[in-house]
Amino acid sequence: MGPAALCRQLDELLQVDRYSDASLNGLQLDAGVEIRHVVCGVSANAALIDQAIERHAQLIVVHHGLLWGRCERLTGLFGHRVKRLYEAGISLAGYHLPLDAHPELGNNAGLARCLSLQGLVRFGDYKGMSIGWGGQLPESSSLGEVNRLLRSAMGDISHCFGSLEREIRRVAVCSGAASDLVHEAAAADYDLFITGEVEEWTQAQALELGISVVAGGHHRTERFGVESLSDHLNALGDVTAEFVDIPNPV
């Protein structure tokens, strides 16, 4: 299957036309080579490209692509990455907000699943689209126990603001760098807001708003989508796929 044909399927699956997004979602670089094997990862960088070459992939699918709504000069790191891809015959596709928001394959769906959240409703407004989820834990748990569940699913967390003994029932999740949504979460009476990356002011505002906040790590909270997309591609059977993690503590 050609890269354009495969990415049209992914575009339709992830409904890319619904989102106003700085990322140019979909096929970003077409190397013109038929796709047999796909490497999925969080971010397009030299380390992931090297892994794709080593694993004989013809397509890389990432959450953070190379193109972000502006014309780039083919110089420096950006030029080197493009050159490496073309020389290796590897195409590249990126899916940003569509892979955050998808109700089954998305990063936030994965976050909700790892806590077994129930009664899910959309949460996290971004330019008129809700990309996160809110729900309830199966039973009330301490913040410390929620952290244990998150560490079990993701390997670690970056920050936790709030008493570990606090009782948590209602949880809102939005992966990546979504600390601005702490206000929306507090206004909707959630006990806990989980995101990936926070700002300097997040701790103070969370305390003043009366809500606990956990930052799971930008990278860690955004592995769920590309892992799920890899599983989806394998299930289709037209190509093989694998998730490759390039660890990032942020």
Q: Is the pLDDT of residue 69 over 90?
A: no
pTM, to two decimals: 0.95
User: What percent of the chain has a predicted confidence (pLDDT) above 70?
Assistant: 100
Residue 246: name the closest of 96, 88, 51 by CA: 51
Q: What is the pLDDT of residues 174-212, one digit of tens each?
A: 999 999 999 999 999 999 999 999 999 999 999 999 999
Q: Is the pLDDT of residue 70 over 90?
A: no
Burial class (CB in 10 A: 0-12, 13-18, 19+), 45: middle
- Identify the structural domains of the chain with CATH numbers, from first to last: 3-100 (3.40.1390.30), 102-221 (3.40.1390.30)
Reduced to 3 states (helix: H, G, I; strand: E, B; else coil), residue 74 is coil
Q: Is the pLDDT of residue 71 over 90?
A: no
User: What percent of the chain has a predicted confidence (pLDDT) above 90?
Assistant: 96
Mean of the pLDDT values across residues 216-234? Answer: 99
